[in-house]
Structure 1
């Protein structure tokens, strides 16, 4: 098969098309003939050398794919050859064939293309596990999402709205803000010209945000604490502006805040399987009904993976970036 080889760590040009053997599925895995693969921020960080794959995972980049099952492991019961699935992989997605644990596969939702389906797993698993399993976001609560126009952000807006939450986001341009509002955000705040703490406080009559979903970090950490409502939950999934900050912990104590963070890839298979079950039961019907859908920013052929990474690093995109795989 053809796949993208990471010959060394560095700029996008270190990724090259190579040929190698197809992977063999383990007893609890399936082999997927990949038609599309999502591009995600962890891929960038792994390419740069700061996010090594966990033990036993494929060294090939790519954490989500969509395609047709071409082989199943000995203990797999649900899936069969020919089934159309999207899957959260443990690596290996930038290839013509990839293996994935059977429990991390989901059927391609009715009405979605393979490109759209490939844009689901990484972001939907991440958002669901953080907003629902960790933050326990409830109907009527106020959610603030930083990076609202990213793949994670556009997904968070839609999932939170489906749960009945009020959604506020930050984004870096008026175009991005309009896109977030079109997806269901009550208010999109241009962080280049507005103060998100002041805007959300005013819009919520001083209540603040019950849940803050942050991938920025840096100076946002202290401002998130300022904005959080009593019993608020602040979740970090990345620190694009820096992870080392000085924080006044007194408001954390006085407002009974929860400061937490998470990464998806190292979580145990049982937890990923639980997320998959929840998504299929609660979000897949919403997707099939057209109420929730991935927003595709751009597609690139597998061979143009360097261009896809450059777009991701520019942060100029709105939504998801997807690679298409020709056979």
Structure 2
């Protein structure tokens, strides 16, 4: 089969489509003929040699996919050959076929194309596991997601609005802010021209928001704490703004704040299976009724993977970037 190979750590030009061996189906897994996969920031880090796959995972890029089940391993009861599905992967999505534990597979939601279903698994499982399962964002609360026009952001805005939450977001251009507003964000802040802390305080009568989802890290750490309400929760999922910072701990104590961080890729199959079950129960109905929609900025054939990575790293996109074999 064809797959994208990292020929050496480096820029987008190191990615090449090559003939490789098909993955071997194991007990409890399904083999998926891939319709589409999506690009995530973690893929660009792996390409640079900064985010190696977990032990035993596929060496190829790609953390989510959609497609048709081509084979079913032993001890798999729910899925059958021919089912149209999407799946959360530990790797291997930039290829024609991939194997994945059956517990990490989801049905394609009604009214969503097989190709567009590739938008969902990674971002949905990331947002639901962090913001809702761990930080327990609840109806009536307020929520700030940085980078609202990203794949994570576009989904987080929609699902939070579905659950009756006031949504704040940041983005770097008026075009992106308008887009965030169109998909449901209540307060849109241009981080290049406004102080998001001051704007959050202004919009919340000085209180702050209840939950923040952050992919910036060090550069925003202190400012995020200042933006939280008493009892607020900060969840960090990325370090685009660095990993080392200095902070005043008294704010954590005075406001009874919680700071947590987690990745998704390195979790156990059992934990991923639990997240996927919660997603199907709590998110799929929102997609079914059209309140949460796939946001696809552009699609590329596998042969143009370098161009797709360049677009991701330019941050010009709004929503997801797809690849298809």
Q: Which SS does the other structure have where 2:51 is aligned?
A: coil
Residue in structure 2 matched with residue 280 of structure 1 by the alignment:
280
Residue in structure 2 matched with residue 270 of structure 1 by the alignment:
270
Provide the aligned length of Structure 1 versus Structure 2.
325
Q: Which SS does the other structure have where 1:109 is aligned?
A: coil
CA shift for structure 1 position 138: 0.6
State how far apart, in whole Å, the 2-side matches of 1:194 and 1:223 are. 13
Residue in structure 1 matched with residue 179 of structure 2 by the alignment:
179
Residue in structure 2 matched with residue 119 of structure 1 by the alignment:
119
Residue in structure 2 matched with residue 298 of structure 1 by the alignment:
298
Superposition misfits of 4+ residues, deviation over 2 angstroms: none
Residue in structure 2 matched with residue 100 of structure 1 by the alignment:
100
CA shift for structure 1 position 218: 2.8
Give structure 1 stretches of 5+ with no counterpart: none
CA shift for structure 1 position 198: 1.0
State how far apart, in whole Å, the 2-side matches of 1:265 and 1:306 are. 23
CA shift for structure 1 position 217: 1.8
Residue in structure 1 matched with residue 308 of structure 2 by the alignment:
308
Residue in structure 1 matched with residue 48 of structure 2 by the alignment:
48
Q: Which SS does the other structure have where 1:259 is aligned?
A: strand
Residues 1:150 and 2:150 aligned together = yes
Residue in structure 1 matched with residue 232 of structure 2 by the alignment:
232
State how far apart, in whole Å, the 1-side matches of 2:105 and 2:128 are. 16
State how far apart, in whole Å, the 2-side matches of 1:255 and 1:200 are. 16
Residues 1:60 and 2:68 aligned together = no
State how far apart, in whole Å, the 2-side matches of 1:249 and 1:147 are. 26
Q: Which SS does the other structure have where 2:242 is aligned?
A: coil
CA offsets 1:56-98 (integer angstroms, 9 cap, x no match): 0010000101000000111111000000000001110000001
Residues 1:321 and 2:306 aligned together = no
Tell whether the 8 Å contact from 1:147 to 1:216 is kept in structure 2 after alignment. no
Q: Supply the RMSD in Å over aligned alpha carbons.
A: 0.8
Q: Which SS does the other structure have where 1:256 is aligned?
A: coil
State how far apart, in whole Å, the 2-side matches of 1:63 and 1:96 are. 14
State how far apart, in whole Å, the 1-side matches of 2:95 and 2:163 are. 35
Q: Which SS does the other structure have where 1:219 is aligned?
A: helix
Residue in structure 1 matched with residue 35 of structure 2 by the alignment:
35
Residue in structure 2 matched with residue 135 of structure 1 by the alignment:
135
Give structure 2 stretches of 5+ with no counterpart: none
Query: Mean alpha-carbon deviation: is it higher for 285-294 or for 90-99?
Result: 285-294
CA shift for structure 1 position 115: 2.4
Tell whether the 8 Å contact from 2:159 to 2:286 is kept in structure 1 after alignment. no
CA offsets 1:205-262 (integer angstroms, 9 cap, x no match): 1110110110012321110111111111001100101110111111011111111111
Residue in structure 1 matched with residue 168 of structure 2 by the alignment:
168
